[in-house]
Each structure stands twice: as C-alpha cells, then as structure tokens.
Amino acid sequence: MVKSELIKRSPLRILEKSIQGGLGKGNIGILASRKGVGKTACLVHIATDKLLQNKPVIHVSYSSRVDYIINWYEDIFKEIAKKRQLESAVDVHDEIIKNRVIMNFKQDGVNTEQVLKSLTAMIEYGKFAADAIIVDGFDFTQSCSDDLDLFKNFAEKLGLEVWFSASLKGEEPLFNESGVPFLLEGCLGKLDVLITLRFEKDHVQLNLVKDPEFSSTKNLDLKLDPKTLLISEHGE
C-alpha cells in the first residue's frame, strides 16, 4: 500500500468522523484510562497518523525518558507498516521523523508557563511549524483547571490541536453515570473531546464521552488491538 492510501484507510478517519472532522485547531482532547490500558499507544498512533500526513508534531512527555518514547514511535510505525504493507517503509520512516520533536519536562520542576514558553521557542526560534501537540504523562491529580486554561489559550493563539493523556488512579468507580472520569469532572467544560479507554473481554474499547457538538457517551466503532497496540476498527 502506498502512503496516501494508508492515510485514507486509517481507522483514525473513523475517529475524525465521529468528532465532526477531527479535534480541530485551538482545541483540546483527552484520552483517559487507568495506567497500562493503552493511552500512550493511542497518542503515538494519533501522532504517527499526523506525521504520515506531513504534519509536524511535538510530543511533550512528563514522565518517560526520550529513548523510551522513541521506541514507542518505532514500534507503532513498524506495526502500521506491517499491517498495511507500506511501500518503501524505510524512506517514509526517515521522512516522518524529521517532523517529530520530543520535549521532556519534569512536572514538579517545570511549571506550565515554562513548558509553553519552551514550546513557543521550539515553534518560533526552532522554526518548527507544529500542527499538533501530544502531551503524555501530565498529572491531572496535581493540577488541572488553570493549566488547561493555559494550554487552551496557547492552542488557540498558535492554531494547534492538543491531545492529552490522563491517567486515572484509585478505587472503583472511576467514572460517573455519564461515563466522565471523576478526576476530570471539574475541567470538563474546558475540553473539546474526551475519550475513555476501558478493558472489555479481549480488547480495549474506545468511548467518546464528549465532543464539540454533544456530550453523551457513545461507543466509537474503534478498539485497541492488544497485540499490535494499534487503534483499529471493530471486526478488523
């Protein structure tokens, strides 16, 4: 399969359709689940899909080491290339990594203002025309509301999509009756898209809890394949 076909047939097109054409510039989306369910895999898949469309991505990580994140990208790319039998995969790979930057911060050492300052520096001084920002490992139990405001302003000002992961901890139940994680109830108004991931028998189900238009839970026709850790359609 050639690259353009691969982009067209990506399961992420289903996600885009379900949320009225994609997250959209200036908007914030969150993927929430317990640790180890597959948030990072989803984020990296979303980022890789952007990269394949020649859209530069900045991956902000609060927790993992850079080499660990790079490995995630390598693995996800390998799986996509294998699954879709991507033509000249090595060249495509070399091309897309030029559009990816990983920025690692310590959340207890660097506040959000500083993070956004560095991101702005990367975009302006580093001439890195980012299309989307992926934020992994941000601890929503430490802070939430104010930081999201700052990120939202930043996204609007620079015309970027921002995808977060949110790790849910503690005793069950983690979600309220509308499927919103208790942790994120307070900042629901600031989000444009909220997707939760939950284990179901043999796969991980993606649920759309909020999108820009409406806000009641619906099952996305998407799952996370436990073997490849790729987002895929049901029945695939």
By the criterion CB under 8 A, which residues form the site for another protein? 65-66, 70, 98, 101-106, 109-110, 114-115, 117-118, 121-122, 124-128
Q: Minimum distance from CB of 115 to another protein (Å)?
A: 8
Which CB atom, from 94 or from 149, has the smaller least distance to another protein? 94
Which CB atom, from 65 or from 169, has the smaller least distance to another protein? 65
Which CB atom, from 14 or from 110, has the smaller least distance to another protein? 110
Contacts of 148 (CB under 8 A, 6+ apart): 28, 187, 190, 191
Token pair in block for residue 23: 């997250």
Which CB atom, from 126 or from 179, has the smaller least distance to another protein? 126
DSSP string, 159-221: T-EEEEEEEE-SSSP-B-TTS-BGGGGGGGGG-SEEEEEEEETTEEEEEEEE-SS--S-EEEE
Q: Minimum distance from CB of 2 to another protein (Å)?
A: 19
Q: Minimum distance from CB of 48 to another protein (Å)?
A: 16
Q: Minimum distance from CB of 127 to another protein (Å)?
A: 5
Sign of the alpha-carbon torsion through 77, 82, 86, 87: positive
Which CB atom, from 125 or from 214, has the smaller least distance to another protein? 125
Helix axes 66-83, 89-96, angle to 10 degrees: 140
Give the SS3 label for residue 111: coil
* Number of Cβ within a 10 Å radius of residue 90: 9
Q: Minimum distance from CB of 131 to another protein (Å)?
A: 16
